[in-house]
């Protein structure tokens, strides 16, 4: 696939990195040649420096042969204009835009006769929804859903004394009620995925991804892991676009305090919120945090635009007694470095946003993609189409499918019912199949497996 990515910031770079290993032709366009040069040195991509909204720049980038453009520059206006030009002047089949302002998220405005945006991504809203889901499961490192919420996957860290630590995976069945089924979809040890089977023994410190029907996931967690108290008090550092959205989302269900260093912004957001308390000050001020009862908080969310400030504020909040802390961290190396130390969760906004983009880029019939462990793995929800003649999977048992190293079928959703599959589970047309890929270089093989194929002969 020939893909133009407009914008070489965190989202654009992460998307390019995710797609370049999948035999796609990637061209990156950005005003700043600096990031382009760094990405060209690291990835097999073509780069063009210039304004992504200019037809001349898009033509230089090869838009006339593009199958897809993804406009993720820092400017909503540039993203919209680029999509409009791509559609009206160059006939690009698929156009995706990142839009930060809710004013632009209007179906009529984005329709083909106006800005011609097929899919609009609002990163701040995605991050807000993601954090709200994490607060529902305070013991989790990551929470994602499939099949319109019918299936939930939760990543947790195994701890000394836990029921599974020191036990083989197959023993999980002994701890669950007879009516509840679940699957350990993957295990990461020392930042690397390990090949698992029923005899694999869980170690303390392992990152374990559990998957079950959404109505059963709490039961599974309760049986297998020490549960934390529900989150009732939250402190947020930063009242920017993300912090303000999260505060607005949470203030109806939690006691929320927001710390904002800019007086004018603090005043503006205080007027926008109904119940949350907004405090003007620095989130790295130890005296301020103590005065605002940091040791009584269930969760501290460092959501400013500065990675270093987020790391420092979250680490300080943890040291001062906050039960659990999260830091928004753009630099992937920082997130890997700090998570699991004083900071419980290092959250990459680009990796949260990229799932929605990948859903529209994958070539099979993909209903949902979730980027896991900051891009190290992916979980795909694929819709099965065709019949036994036109499909490689329909009418086959899982044990009959070709083995793809690093990929496993973790769940099947059929007519709204969640099935935790076994080797003899039959795949049927219309199934939604969740595949966990711990090795991203094999995602293309997974897509190909689920793509319909034309029969060699047709009989009228």
One domain, residues 6 and 117 = yes
User: Of 313, 347, 381, which marks where a domain is finished?
Assistant: 347
One domain, residues 361 and 337 = no
pTM of structure: 0.84
Tell me the C-alpha distance between 40 and 195, whole Å. 33
Tell me the C-alpha distance between 64 and 382, whole Å. 30
Q: How many domains does the chain have?
A: 3
One domain, residues 339 and 441 = no
Provide the token pair at 422: 């076994």
For residue 326, tell me if it sits in a domain.
Answer: yes
Tell me the C-alpha distance between 456 and 404, whole Å. 24
One domain, residues 334 and 368 = no
Tell me the C-alpha distance between 383 and 396, whole Å. 15
Q: What's the pLDDT at 282?
A: 97
For residue 167, tell me if it sits in a domain.
Answer: no
Query: Residue 442 is part of a domain; what is its CATH number?
Result: 3.30.70.1450
Q: What's the pLDDT at 456?
A: 39
Q: Give the CA distances from residue 389 to residues 263, 383, 453, in Å, rounded to whole numbers and listed in that order.
A: 66, 17, 8
For residue 77, tell me if it sits in a domain.
Answer: yes
pLDDT tens, the chain, 460 aa long: 899 999 998 889 888 888 876 667 999 999 999 999 999 999 989 999 999 999 999 999 999 999 999 999 999 999 999 999 999 999 999 999 999 888 898 999 999 999 999 999 888 888 998 999 899 888 888 999 999 999 999 998 888 777 788 889 888 888 888 889 999 988 998 878 888 888 999 998 898 999 999 999 988 888 776 667 889 999 999 999 899 999 999 998 999 999 999 999 999 999 999 999 999 999 999 999 999 999 999 999 999 999 999 999 999 999 999 999 999 998 766 766 776 678 999 888 887 888 878 887 776 688 888 888 766 788 999 999 989 989 999 999 999 999 888 899 999 999 999 999 999 999 999 999 999 998 877 888 898 899 887 653 433 3
One domain, residues 380 and 277 = no
Residue 415, sorted as left (phi over 0), alpha (psi -120 to 50) or beta, turns out to be: left
Provide the token pair at 321: 């007694």
One domain, residues 8 and 103 = yes
User: Of 347, 375, 397, which marks where a domain is finished?
Assistant: 347
One domain, residues 393 and 318 = no
One domain, residues 245 and 318 = yes
Tell me the C-alpha distance between 31 and 427, whole Å. 48
Q: What is the DSSP string of 270-329?
A: HHH-SS-EEEES-TT-HHHHHHTTGGG-SEEEE-SS-HHHHHHHHHHHHHTT-S-EEEE-
For residue 219, tell me if it sits in a domain.
Answer: no
In sequence order, what are the residues at sequence separation of 6 or more whose Cβ sits closer than 8 angstroms to the Cβ of residue 458? Answer: none
Provide the token pair at 167: 């036990």
Q: What's the pLDDT at 460?
A: 33
Residue pair 443/372 in contact (Cβ under 8 Å)? The answer is no
One domain, residues 241 and 317 = yes
Tell me the C-alpha distance between 339 and 345, whole Å. 5
Tell me the C-alpha distance between 334 and 306, whole Å. 12
User: Of 95, 121, 147, which marks where a domain is finished?
Assistant: 121
Tell me the C-alpha distance between 243 and 279, whole Å. 13
One domain, residues 401 and 299 = no
Q: How many residues does the chain have?
A: 460
One domain, residues 244 and 279 = yes
For residue 35, tell me if it sits in a domain.
Answer: yes
Provide the token pair at 169: 């995976």
Q: What's the pLDDT at 336?
A: 65
For residue 249, tell me if it sits in a domain.
Answer: yes
One domain, residues 322 and 388 = no
Query: Residue 90 is part of a domain; what is its CATH number?
Result: 3.40.50.720
- How does strand 325-328 pair with strand 299-302? parallel
Q: Between the CA atoms of 395, 398, 404 and 407, what dihedral angle is there, to the nearest 10 degrees?
A: 120
Tokens 């589970």 sit at which residue? 425
What residues make up the domain containing 246? 233-347
For residue 199, tell me if it sits in a domain.
Answer: no
Tell me the C-alpha distance between 352 and 370, whole Å. 8
Tell me the C-alpha distance between 241 and 245, whole Å. 6
Burial class for 63, CB neighbours closer than 10 Å (0-12, 13-18, 19+) = buried
For residue 299, tell me if it sits in a domain.
Answer: yes
Q: What's the pLDDT at 458?
A: 38
């Amino acid at each position: 696939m020939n893909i133009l990515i407009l914008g070489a910031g965190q989202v654009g770079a992460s998307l390019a990195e995710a797609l370049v290993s999948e035999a796609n032709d990637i061209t990156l366009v950005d005003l700043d040649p600096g990031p382009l040069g760094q990405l060209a040195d690291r990835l097999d991509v073509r780069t063009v420096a210039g304004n992504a909204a200019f037809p001349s720049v898009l033509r230089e980038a090869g838009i006339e042969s593009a199958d897809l453009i993804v406009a993720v520059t820092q400017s909503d206006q540039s993203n919209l204009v680029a999509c409009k030009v791509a559609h009206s002047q160059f006939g690009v089949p698929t156009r995706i835009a990142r839009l930060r302002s809710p004013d632009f998220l209007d179906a009529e405005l984005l329709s083909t006769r106006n800005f011609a945006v097929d899919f609009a991504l609002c990163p701040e809203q995605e991050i807000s929804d993601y954090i709200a889901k994490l607060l529902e499961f305070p013991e989790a490192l990551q929470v994602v859903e499939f099949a319109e919420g019918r299936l939930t996957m939760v990543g947790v860290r195994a701890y000394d004394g836990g029921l599974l630590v020191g036990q083989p995976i197959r023993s999980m069945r002994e701890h669950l009620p007879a009516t509840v089924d679940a699957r350990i979809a993957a295990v990461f040890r020392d930042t690397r995925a390990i090949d698992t089977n029923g005899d694999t023994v869980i170690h303390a410190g392992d990152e374990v991804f559990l998957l079950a029907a959404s109505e059963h996931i709490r039961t599974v967690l309760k049986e297998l892991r020490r549960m934390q108290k529900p989150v009732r008090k939250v402190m947020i550092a930063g009242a920017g676009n993300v912090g303000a959205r999260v505060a607005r989302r949470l203030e109806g269900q939690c006691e929320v305090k927001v710390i904002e260093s800019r007086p004018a912004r603090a005043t503006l957001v205080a007027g926008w919120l109904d119940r949350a308390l907004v405090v003007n000050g620095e989130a790295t001020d130890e005296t301020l945090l103590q005065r605002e009862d940091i040791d009584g908080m269930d969760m501290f969310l460092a959501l400013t635009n500065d990675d270093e400030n987020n790391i420092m504020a979250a680490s300080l909040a943890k040291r001062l007694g906050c039960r659990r802390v999260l830091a928004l961290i753009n630099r992937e190396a920082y997130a890997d470095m700090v998570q699991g130390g004083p900071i419980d969760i290092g959250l990459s906004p680009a990796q949260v946003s990229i799932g929605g983009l990948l859903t529209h880029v994958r070539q099979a019939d993909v209903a949902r993609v979730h980027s896991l462990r900051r891009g190290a793995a992916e979980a795909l929800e694929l819709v099965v189409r065709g019949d036994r003649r036109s499909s490689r999977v329909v009418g086959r048992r899982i044990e009959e499918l070709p083995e793809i190293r690093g990929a496993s079928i973790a769940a099947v959703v059929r007519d709204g019912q969640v099935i935790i599959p076994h080797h003899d589970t039959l795949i049927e047309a219309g199934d939604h199949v969740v595949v966990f890929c711990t090795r991203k270089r094999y995602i293309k093989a997974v897509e190909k497996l689920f793509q319909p194929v034309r029969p060699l002969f047709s009989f009228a």
